[in-house]
Amino acid sequence: MSTKPKSKGKGAHKKGVRQEFSAGFILFRDTDEGPLFLLLDYGKHWDYAKGHLEKDESAWQAAVRELREETGIKRVERVGRFKQDMHYFFFSPKKGRISKTVTFFLGKTDVEKVSLSDEHEGHAWLPYEEALERLTFPNARQMLRAAYRSMQPDATS
């Protein structure tokens, strides 16, 4: 089953608004103190590893590739059926108004070492509450809450 959004591809236009599609992970690793979530410092904000879908790439394939490119982490296991889209608009001086959809998966790794790409200034493995505080954007905090709920024993997803 393909997880790729139905679209005209990266940068498709609809009513004068450029549409972009990305995918990424809410990634954690288990520790004796509980799960630690990986957040990346993009310089002006803290967020998850994510990036654009390439031609003929599914959201899952893009998420795995972006995780490897941005963090060096190659081993990731999908947890449950968690898959949620985040949608928002922003303005780019070069591209104009953009409608962006990012598909997130919940992933687990046993890898602690992170090798950052040059698009990041730092990273942190944080417990849930600290990760919520560190994330810059409300929609990213909302995504973490949803992923964390799905990890609970009584979760149905």
What is the model's pLDDT at position 64? 98
Answer yes or no: is 5 within a domain: no
C-alpha span between 28 and 97 (Å, rounded): 33
Percent of the chain exceeding pLDDT 70 equals: 89
Answer yes or no: is 86 within a domain: yes
What is the model's pLDDT at position 118? 85
Answer yes or no: is 2 within a domain: no
Answer yes or no: is 4 within a domain: no
Tokens 């005209």, residue located: 8
C-alpha span between 131 and 143 (Å, rounded): 11
C-alpha span between 154 and 152 (Å, rounded): 6
Answer yes or no: is 111 within a domain: yes
Q: Pick the residue with more confidence: 106 or 3? A: 106
What distances in angstroms separate CA 20 from CA 50, 62, 98, one per listed residue? 13, 13, 7
pTM of the model: 0.85
pLDDT tens digit string along 81-122? 999 999 999 898 998 999 999 999 999 999 999 999 888 899
Q: How far apart are the first and last CA of the chain?
A: 18
* Average pLDDT, integer, range 68-86: 97
Answer yes or no: is 76 within a domain: yes
What is the model's pLDDT at position 115? 94
Q: How many domains does the chain have?
A: 1
Answer yes or no: is 7 within a domain: no
DSSP output for 24-86: EEEEEEEETTEEEEEEEE-SS-EE-SEEEPPTT--HHHHHHHHHHHHH-----EEEEEEEEEE
pLDDT tens digit string along 128-147? 999 999 999 999 999 999 99
pLDDT at 9 exceeding the cut of 50: no
Q: Pick the residue with more confidence: 48 or 1? A: 48
Q: What is the mean pLDDT of the chain?
A: 90
CATH number at residue 124: 3.90.79.10
C-alpha span between 58 and 81 (Å, rounded): 16
Answer yes or no: is 133 within a domain: yes
Domain with 115 in it:
12-151
What is the model's pLDDT at position 4? 43
